[in-house]
Amino acid sequence: MISAWTTKGTGIFFLLALISLAATWTYMFQFFFYSYRQWKATASYGLPVSLDSISLWLHDTSLFDSAWRQVSVGDWQWLWSHQLCSLTVSVWTPILAIEGHRRQIPFIWAYMLLGQVVAISFASSLAFAVILAYPASKEPSDDLLKRIVLCIVGGLGTVVLSPFVAKGEGFMLNLLTMHILLILPLFQTKTSSTKQPMVIMMIYVFASGANLMIYLQQWYQCLSSLSSFWPSTILEQLITVFFHHPAQSSISSDIVCMQLITMTWIWIHRRTPYALPLLVMTPLLSASVTLPLFFSLMEYQKQHKLKQ
């Protein structure tokens, strides 16, 4: 039987999904218009806006490549963008895989595909709503946990490599590898009856620690480019980059929405140890750091209950 609080939490996440969809795709449509205008300014066809001109624009332009290169080149651009990449490969993938198998959620891989096509925050909100509605009945198998670890390590490798290949021919191969590693653990079908909260806890702790190192390194790169370290200067730079390009605004909105979703998830489970400090630190440290740390604490609670 679904509790009233679970129903309320599910409704909150559905609302957050709508907010995420509006925030990210407002800028995504702006990116489409921007790209079309850029193409038309340099194209030799001279056609008015029509299905023919749109078809030629889509044929001549790689929107996926253009958008991702835009958000990967530049220290401050990558400060925003890497948070979403790190979170997706090392946090959201294991959450979907582990909780999806625990709760026997059908087509769990569809949430990752939806995130790649629409927005990670949109798909995450929907997935969290479903996770709240499905009780845990199984446990992930050893093979799944091993696959998750390999995909996390490989995925984080592509994140670290991205800004170095963003201007070269290897960029799309690196990006394709990242997206493949996101989905691989989600097709595992084996489950187990043996609980392994300690192993799962360590997976989340590793993800949090690795993401923190990447996050701090990127902040160091950004701050090294400034002549002044006043908070107002840093905030101005963050806002300027956020709105500099519609593709950047879309992915930056995605990570802002993920921060809000993470804080909501923590608040719903605020009886977990250290929940409120992690909630407060999420906007500062990034959801890519606090969300896996919070899930590790939830696993710690399960481990503690097993020992009692």
Which run of H or of E encompasses 69?
helix 63-72
pLDDT at 1: 40
Residue 306 binned pLDDT confidence (cut-offs 50, 70, 90) = low
Percentage of the chain lying above the pLDDT 70 cut:
93
Encoding tokens for residue 265? 């998830």
* Gap between the Cα atoms of 196 and 187, Å rounded: 20
Residue 3 has pLDDT above 80, yes or no: no
pLDDT at 191: 65
Answer with the residue of higher pLDDT: 271 or 242: 242
pLDDT at 105: 94
The answer to whether residues 73 and 223 touch, using CB atoms and an 8 Å cutoff, is no
Per-residue pLDDT tens over the stretch 270-280? 888 899 999 99
What mean pLDDT do residues 58-73 have? 92
The answer to whether residues 92 and 120 touch, using CB atoms and an 8 Å cutoff, is yes
Encoding tokens for residue 143? 């093979």
* Amino acid type, 107: F
Residue 244 has pLDDT above 90, yes or no: yes
Per-residue pLDDT tens over the stretch 160-183? 999 999 999 899 999 999 999 999
The count of other CB atoms within 10 Å of the CB of residue 18 is 11
Residue 121 has pLDDT above 80, yes or no: yes
Per-residue pLDDT tens over the stretch 197-232? 889 999 999 999 999 999 999 999 999 999 888 999
Which run of H or of E encompasses 139?
strand 139-140
The answer to whether residues 179 and 116 touch, using CB atoms and an 8 Å cutoff, is yes
What mean pLDDT do residues 262-290 have? 95
